[in-house]
Structure 1
Amino acid sequence: MNVFDEHEQNICDCDFSSCNKDAVTCGSTFKLVNQQSGDRLHSHDVKYGSGSGQQSVTGTPNADDVNSYWQIRGDIKNDCERGAPIKCDNIIRLFHVTTRRNLHSHNYASPLSNNQEVSAYGDDGVGDEGDRWKVGCTTKNDYWLRKDPIRLQHVATGKYLHLTGDTYGRPIHGQKEISCYSHANSQNLWKVDSGVYIRQSSEPLSSTRDDNCNTRSQSTKNDHFDDEL
């Protein structure tokens, strides 16, 4: 079952560049894809058998898995306005839509690589300081643009959200370890993928899909939606 509402379908007639210059916005829900491996940031109600024992976070090659959707939220005490573009170096939280926990890290060793463990933590989005991530842009833009790769740096420890390539066995066979790593490299570059992108009503709707410009949109109060599921 799809976790998102269906919206009226429209067709966007635009070229590649005009479809891909939009900023990632607060309240949007999307998948994050590791640029090097193509795996999606994923979580599910499976606990680590070591370390913190919290809910595991993995990388999956499955493009259709509903457990790979994350919603962008603002800092703990300074939440962002829905539809507001996210600036480079902003502090954000990523809320896992299915299990309603936050992307989290802390000083536990990850089970396969012995890097820093990444988990999903909290209750209905309420967590702690370990849920805070800094958006590290890789271009000279002032904002996190949907076409651009970024790094997510864990605020409390300074390490980067990272995909090691190490692969789990049962019960999550074939999924890859997600950890935090001390150095910036090609394995900790991430790009947004399909999702529901919330726009302020004064801004135009557009699509970021590279293969076509199909969009489904709906306007409610002060929000526009760019629905790309």
Structure 2
Amino acid sequence: MSFESSAVVITGASRGIGRRIAVQFASKTRHPLVLIARSEEGLEKTKQLCEEAGAERVTVIPCDLTNESNISEISMPADFPKPGIIINNAGSYLYKDLNDTETSEFIEQIETNLLSAVYVTNRFLGDLKNRERGIIINICSVGSIEGLKESGAYASSKHALLGYTRSLRKELMQSNIAVTALNLGQTKSTSWESSDVNPLLLIDPDDVGKLLVSISQLSTRTVAEEIILKPQRGRVPPM
């Protein structure tokens, strides 16, 4: 089966940025979609939006992405195409001083922001290797490349995700699989709903989806290794 007809796996697809990424793939490509997140209700809503946007085939998989055994046991519908694109978008933001951050909160940030991507990649990597083209896109952060005041545990986990992504890129460089890190700045999502940040100054999540669609359409000769995406006016206060 060709890359063009392969499925796109999107984690954290039940809301926010992941939902908008899914809708952009639904409206601009013919790839079948595999939506993964904890919330089955949220996934079903995203599925509905994707179908309204033009997607012909969408399957949802409710799953705890921090549970390695749950992910390793994921089974695709028998008649569903194997994936050719993995978008590791699932993540969690912790706004808290380092001195006040509990060890359990550090662990949770690592599990959600790093290990979920590792587990999902390991689950589907074999499928990508069997295609003429495969793409892995990890949604990292500006917190992957700089320290962040009042969200140090988050930045630490995202540093780790970028290190993993860079290493995976090196390991797969001679294969048919492209690996991309998107270092994403403040983007309109559910993470900001309880804050005083002006949402109109944040990155439009549809722009993230459009960018990822474009990355997926590059030739096999080209890879976008790392991209930084930021709000036009820079960091949005009061964060």
Q: TM-score range by the shorter chain?
A: under 0.3
Q: Normalization by structure 2: what TM-score?
A: 0.27
Greater helix share, structure number: 2
Q: Which has the higher contact order (CA 8 A, sep 6+)?
A: 1
